[in-house]
Amino acid sequence: MSVTKRLYLAGAALVIAAILLYTLAWPAWQQQLTGQESARLAQLQAAAKPAAAQQRLDHQQLLADLNWLAHPDRQGRKPGSRGGIEARNWLARQFAEIGLQPAGTDGYLQPFHVKQHFVFSRWLRGKTATVPAAENAANVLGLLPGLNPQLKPIVLTAHYDHLGVENGEVFAGADDNASGVATLLGLARYFSEHPLDHPLLFVALDAEEGGLQGAVALFKHQLLQPEQLAFNVNMDMLSRDTDQLLFAVGSYQQPWLSPLLHTLQQQSAVKIIAGHDRPWYRAGNTQDWTLSSDHGVFYQQQVPFIYFGVADHDDYHSVRDTAEKVDPDFYAQVSETILSFIQLLDQQFKHN
Ligand SMILES: [Zn+2]
């Protein structure tokens, strides 16, 4: 047998071995990791001890704002649609009434174009989507100065867009993500009366669904510089969960967040679970949400981040994600929890 032939045979044997390993050992390994991660999450859930309920935010106002955004008249707030534009103009008016400073490129707005593209990603929670082009998308940005002008702003984000209307049916997007945007407004109202050391930049993002394009536009057009930001808190889906769990994503990448989350639990009336941020080689088939919403873009830009959100429910991305399904008490306490987190963060980063 010639040397070349031997080499070919050895190569073929290697390929066959790799295929066998992949088909036999890989699923078992992934299954083992998934099991370990499920056990870890169950342990966290059992250990989490909710504290007493709080009321610093106006809970009625939170629900009223959520209802306005998720109303069928908004037509699912697709980027560039009539309902989307209505929602954005309304948000700019709310920011003005609260007294936030315009921080877009055109007053409160940062207009941008959505490019049509096809998206499939397991990080988008297994979503497959064709994102239609929209000429007329826009983020809404308002700044609240802090007490210490030396500090970099903490950026609070929540996307206001959703899936629009399909076959005559409105995708109201109440949990996803009228809930996050109503909380964004609630926090702006609260902190305008109780300012922190840090400036707070409130950002209602467009065109999250499918491609995180609103968050990308913040950096692509250099409205924001990553090194000039202290932190990103992203809120996406806050208003319902059968197990009353709130996930906090980001402590795997940033372990210094863990003690902060521990302190947060002592002030929070919901169970906070640090999870859905571990890669496949740590957590198997457990979903990794590191890039699942707009915080993913901040992460890629190396801005420290946290994402707060609930687990997917049966009504996720369906016409059944309506305002009646919201759990008012859970939603109010999730919002209070995020308020507490921002206060803790403000103290933690007192010097930068
Ligand atoms: Zn969302």
Q: What DSSP designation does 310 have?
A: P
Span from the CA of 230 to the centroid of ligand 1 (angstroms): 23
Q: Contact, 207 vs 114, CB < 8 A?
A: yes
Whole-angstrom distance, CA of residue 308 vs CA of residue 176: 12
Give the pLDDT of the chain (352 residues) as one tens digit per residue. Answer: 778 888 899 999 999 988 988 888 888 899 999 999 999 999 999 999 999 999 999 999 999 999 999 999 999 999 999 999 999 999 999 999 999 999 999 999 999 998 776 554 434 444 445 556 667 899 999 999 999 989 999 999 999 999 999 889 999 999 999 999 999 999 999 999 999 999 999 999 999 986 899 999 999 989 999 999 999 999 999 999 989 999 999 999 999 999 999 999 999 999 999 999 999 999 989 999 999 999 999 999 999 999 999 998 888 888 999 999 999 999 999 999 999 999 999 998 876 6
According to the model, what pLDDT value does residue 351 have? 62
Q: How far is the CA of 140 from the centre of ligand 1 (A)?
A: 16
How far away, in angstroms, is 209 Cα from ligand 1 center? Answer: 6
- Ligand 1 center to residue 266 CA distance, Å? 27
Phi, psi of 310 (to 5 degrees): -95, 165
CA distance 142 to 192: 11
Residues in the chain: 352
Q: Output the pTM of the full model.
A: 0.91
In this prediction, residue 121 carries a pLDDT of 42
- Compute the distance from residue 238 Cα to the ligand 1 centre, in Å: 10
If you measure from the C-alpha of residue 26 to the centroid of ligand 1, how many angstroms do you get, rounded to a whole number?
Answer: 32
**How far, in Å, from the CA of 88 to the mean position of ligand 1?**
16
How far apart are the CA of 287 and the centre of ligand 1, in A?
15
How far, in whole angstroms, is CA 44 from its chain's centroid? 21
How many CB atoms are located within 10 Å of the residue 149 CB? 8
Question: What's the pLDDT score for residue 126?
Answer: 45
CATH tag, 59-348: 3.40.630.10
- CA of residue 110 to ligand 1 center, whole Å: 20
Distance 293 CA to ligand 1 centre (A): 6
Residue 301 CA to residue 225 CA, distance in Å, equals 9
**Which residues fall inside 5 Å of ion ligand 1, going by CB?**
176-177, 236
C-alpha dihedral (295, 301, 304, 306), degrees to nearest 10: 10
Q: Is the peptide bond before 139 cis (omega within 30 degrees of 0)?
A: no
How many whole angstroms from 237 Cα to the centroid of ligand 1? 6
State residue 124's pLDDT score. Answer: 47
Cα of 95 vs centre of ligand 1, distance in Å, is: 21
Q: Where are the domains of the chain?
A: 59-348
- How confident is the model at residue 312, as a pLDDT? 87
